[in-house]
Amino acid sequence: MPRPRVLLLGDPARHLDDLWSDFQQKFEVIPANLTTHDGFKQALREKRYGDFEAIIKLAVENGTESYPWNADLISHLPSSLKVFAAAGAGFDWLDLDALNERGVAFANSRGAGDTATSDLALYLILSVFRLASYSERAARTGDPETFNRVHLEIGKSAHNPRGHVLGAVGLGAIQKEIARKAVHGLGMKLVYYDVAPADAETEKALGAERVDSLEELARRSDCVSVSVPYMKLTHHLIDEAFFAAMKPGSRIVNTARGPVISQDALIAALKSGKLLSAGLDVHEFEPQVSKELIEMKHVTLTTHIGGVAIETFHEFERLTMTNIDRFLLQGKPLLTPAGKVFAPSSAA
């Protein structure tokens, strides 16, 4: 019996060799050899790959040459296509409605980076309370005078997170992990604001108190953690009014998306002392980092590495391969469907 054909966007698996060998036994893998969006469209139009039942994208950076996956590109996909499994949680590069309208199921890899991203948020929370990044920069000067001066200076404003209030903006999958670690690991208290309230069990496990407005969250938090998806509605969700409502000398960390926070308002709040410190993995205009933020001593900066850990990449590969196997060969639903849910198909 012929093996179902799977179009590979980008590189083959780099981590899970055994699973990849097994996958290649079960499926005929066709490399897409992408160069550009137009080149890919042309290849599809000319049916250069023949028919295929699935598309796999094993790493976030794979296949980005073909972006954007708009309705026009999608209209050239073969009618044999049943499922597309892609690494990564975000899919703003893809017109999911147009894909679903062609009867194609889509699976992302949400959850794969939850541990890594929540761990990084904890690093930022610790740094904004203890001003560890400022201390590191002082140590790196190699200058004994700076060492001693910064040691004394930090002693005037560093605090333990224990007993302080973490204000969670959004209490989704990643923020629940951040909260669990901050509450049970660091001894923080939790208030949260989310458009969808958490269930009673989650609230109990985290000792979480839900507040009705962002303004109340801002007022009550010693450190705010931002973890909501970026969309029109959350553009500059954290703005001047939010910072105005915060206690003087409070803190904020962002592991969601840069433009959820207004960078101008953030800089103004740091300058005025409303904020003592900020920890930012994501940046409004990344990969450009604000010069003003770079120069502020109580700002901890990372380069959008929230999800970046080998374990995340393993999970991307496991989920994308398993989703296609389940959907096409085992007649089982996708583990991580996004968009319209389709019944599994049996292409074999």
Which of the residues are catalytic?
257, 286, 304
**Which C-beta is closer to ligand NAD: that of 46 or that of 199?**
199
Least distance (Å) between residue 28 CB and ligand NAD = 32
Q: Which stretch binds ligand NAD (CB under 6 A): 2-10, 75-83, 132-140, 231-239?
A: 231-239
> Which tokens go with 100?
């679903």
Helix axes 310-324, 17-26, angle to 10 degrees: 20
**Which C-beta is closer to ligand NAD: that of 238 or that of 347?**
238
Q: What gap in Å lies between CA 9 and CA 33, rounded to an integer?
A: 7
Does 168 bind ligand NAD (CB under 6 A)? Our answer is no
Answer yes or no: are the C-beta atoms of 150 and 136 closer than 8 Å.
no
DSSP sequence for 150-211:
HHHHHTTT---STTPEEEEE--SHHHHHHHHIIIIIT--EEEEE-SSPPPHHHHHHHTEEE-
Q: How far is CA 240 from CA 44, 49, 175, 269, in A?
A: 48, 52, 23, 8
Q: Which stretch binds ligand NAD (CB under 6 A): 48-56, 131-139, 193-201, 243-251?
A: 193-201
> Which tokens go with 312?
């995340």
DSSP sequence for 194-218:
-SSPPPHHHHHHHTEEE-S-HHHHH
Least distance (Å) between residue 112 CB and ligand NAD = 9
Does 258 bind ligand NAD (CB under 6 A)? Our answer is no
Binding site residue list for NAD(+): 173-174, 194, 228, 255-256, 281, 307
Which of positions 10-69 make contact with ligand NAD (CB under 6 A)? none
Does 182 bind ligand NAD (CB under 6 A)? Our answer is no
The only residue of 73, 104, 194, 211 in contact with ligand NAD, by rule CB under 6 A: 194
Answer yes or no: are the C-beta atoms of 68 and 331 closer than 8 Å.
no
Q: How far is CA 92 from CA 32, 68, 113, 159, 338, in A?
A: 21, 9, 17, 39, 12
Does 118 bind ligand NAD (CB under 6 A)? Our answer is no
Q: What gap in Å lies between CA 321 and CA 329, rounded to an integer?
A: 11
Does 289 bind ligand NAD (CB under 6 A)? Our answer is no
Does 233 bind ligand NAD (CB under 6 A)? Our answer is yes
Q: How far is CA 333 from the centre of its chain?
A: 24
Least distance (Å) between residue 230 CB and ligand NAD = 6
The only residue of 5, 57, 82, 110 in contact with ligand NAD, by rule CB under 6 A: 110
Residue closest to ligand NAD, measured at CB: 172
Question: Binding residues for ligand NAD, per CB under 6 A?
Answer: 89-90, 110, 113, 117, 169-175, 193-196, 227-230, 233-234, 237, 255-257, 281-282, 304, 306-307
